[in-house]
Amino acid sequence: MNYPLIALIVIIALAIVSFLVWKNKKDEKQVIKEMTQEELKPEKHDDKHPEI
């Protein structure tokens, strides 16, 4: 069998999985930051159309 080729494919697969996990963690931190910012900012209300 061609072990160097198999090893190369496994290394590339591990690199791709590692990159995707890293990217997901980075995006998760950004989403959490945005959500906390939205919670801190009050919503702006449209005074032209008051609810009855």
Comparing 2 with 43, the larger pLDDT belongs to 2
Does 42 score more than 70 pLDDT? Answer: no
Whether 49 is in a domain gets the answer no
- For the chain, the domain total comes to 1
pLDDT, position 3:
95
Q: pLDDT tens digits, residue range 7-38?
A: 999 999 999 999 999 999 988 888 888 888 77
- Count of CA atoms in the C-beta half-sphere (13 A) of 15: 6
Asked if residue 51 is part of any domain, the answer here is no
The predicted pLDDT at position 48 comes to: 67
Residue 7 lies in a domain: yes
Report the candidate in 26, 43, 30, 51 with the shortest Cα–Cα distance to residue 18: 26
Tell if the pTM clears 0.75, that is, is over it.
no
Mean pLDDT of the chain: 83
Domain that holds residue 23: 1-38
**Rounded Cα distance, 19 and 11, in Å:** 12
Q: What is the DSSP string of the chain?
A: --HHHHHHHHHHHHHHHHHHHHHHHHHHHHHHHHHHHHHHSPPPP-TTS---
